[in-house]
Homo-oligomer: A and B are copies of this chain.
Amino acid sequence: MAEKNLEPIIKERRVFITGNEAVAWAGVAARADIMYGYPITPQNEIMHYWTRLAPKYGKGFLQTEDEISAGFATVGGVLAGKRAFTATSGPGNILMQDSMSMAEMMRIPTVMIITQRGGPSTATVIYSQQETTLTCFGGNGEGIRIVYSTASHQELFDYTIKAFNTAWKYRFPTFVLGDGYQSKMRESLTIYDPVERGIELVPAEPFLGKGGVAGLDRPPVHLRNTYNMEDELYEVVRELVDAYNAVAHEIVEYREMETEDAEILIVAHGIVSRAAEGAVARLRKDGYKVGSFRPITLRPFPAEQLRKCADRAEKMLVVESAEGQLKKLVTDAIYGSTTPIETLFRPGESITVEEIISAVKGL
């Protein structure tokens, strides 16, 4: 994958663009080979930019007949050894879970960008954090996947690149979680060529079509996701879970702000964490001992890290644009902690700095 060409694929520069555009550029920067997709707001412009960029960079694109197809075609692209990805939202995210369950079972390093919209059902095309549970645990499985929840355009760019590396290094399906605001808003970020910055790109390798004549030069590759006996399956799932748990500590990422002496700990992820951090900054000025904790990886979850902060605090405030989806991750991660949890839930709606401040003041 490393470039022969010494030219950087993207000239490093500061830009003022939408999140969807940032993702498309990140795909180019990550040397993604092909995107499969189906239109859905708010992720559409990822495809729009990608279809404009793709021919210039010799990359592929296929608009499929639905998200089921886009998900499974992505699986196909990855099996063929390409850095394939897809993007979707809301009902499309539901439909892609079937293919992602297959990827989970077979450890296929798919990359998928989720730009959350309102739910349940078609709901709104705008914004929410209501696909947290779905993205972390969707399908009939155990959530053996990696989910990065991003909070800015810079992170959308950085983590989209990183997602390909994580996926191919650990071979778990990897998700970049954003939302409709991020998709459509413009803010500044620096785009760059990761290779030029010295970030190593984990190479993709074919699962199928490895070369040579199967059965002559090498045994044929026979991939399946179906088993006949439950103990067979148990072994497979056990191995998956163990492999995942073994590397989880390398993968977890989080961000703390003013947690050292915080009496009140705000927990938020994604773009809501920006409001949380804004609230912390302002409240600190007013003398409130507040801090914030933001899980960047929702799967695996930075459990121990959060527990430490939680145990130091007197109260926690979980803030999210959903009805307790983050909270469930939190309670499961730090069960045993006795720090009371208060909540500010705004399913489908944005949360402002001001609202968090008044929630904290009202605690």
Chain A residues within CB distance 8 Å of chain B: 90-91, 93-95, 97-98, 101-102, 104-106, 116-124, 126-128, 130-131, 133-134, 137-144, 225-234, 237-238, 241, 322-325, 327-328, 331-332, 335-336, 338, 340-341, 346-350
Contacts and interface: CB of A to CB of B under 8 A. Distances in A.
A3 to B, nearest CB: 36
6 contacts: A105-B120, A119-B142, A120-B225, A121-B225, A131-B140, A234-B349
B95 A91 contact: no
Contact of A123 (B124, B233, B336): B233
Contacts of A231: 349
Contact of A331 (B93, B98, B227, B331): B331
Nearest to A237: B347
User: Among the interface residues A139, A228, A346, A347, which one has the most CB atoms of the partner chain B within 10 A?
Assistant: A139
Contact of A124 (B121, B127, B233, B332): B233
Contacts of A104: 120-121
Given A328-B332, A335-B341, A121 B140 contact: yes
User: Among the interface residues A90, A141, A228, which one has the most CB atoms of the partner chain B within 10 A?
Assistant: A141
Contacts of A130: 140-142
B105 A142 contact: no
A331 B341 CA distance: 13
Contact of A140 (B90, B98, B126, B335): B90
Given A91-B101, A93-B140, A120-B141, A323 B134 contact: no
A140 B89 CA distance: 9
Contact of A233 (B131, B331, B349): B349
A94 B124 contact: no
A323 B122 CA distance: 30
Number of copies: 2
B142 A324 contact: yes
Nearest to A341: B335
A119 B140 contact: yes
A234 B346 contact: yes
A230 B94 contact: no
Contacts of A340: 336
Given A91-B140, A121-B141, A238-B347, 18 more contacts: A94-B94, A94-B138, A105-B119, A105-B121, A120-B225, A121-B225, A124-B227, A124-B229, A126-B229, A127-B230, A130-B140, A133-B133, A137-B137, A142-B324, A331-B331, A331-B332, A331-B335, A336-B340
Contacts of A128: 230
A324 B244 CA distance: 14
B322 A122 contact: no
Contacts of A121: 101-102, 104-106, 139-141, 225-226
A349 B104 CA distance: 18
Given A98-B91, A121-B101, A230 B350 contact: yes
A123 to B, nearest CB: 6
A225 B142 contact: no
Given A328-B328, A335-B335, A323 B241 contact: yes
Nearest to A136: B133
Given A91-B101, A233-B349, A340-B336, A325 B122 contact: no
A137 B133 contact: yes
Contacts of A335: 331, 335, 341
B139 A241 contact: no
Nearest to A145: B120
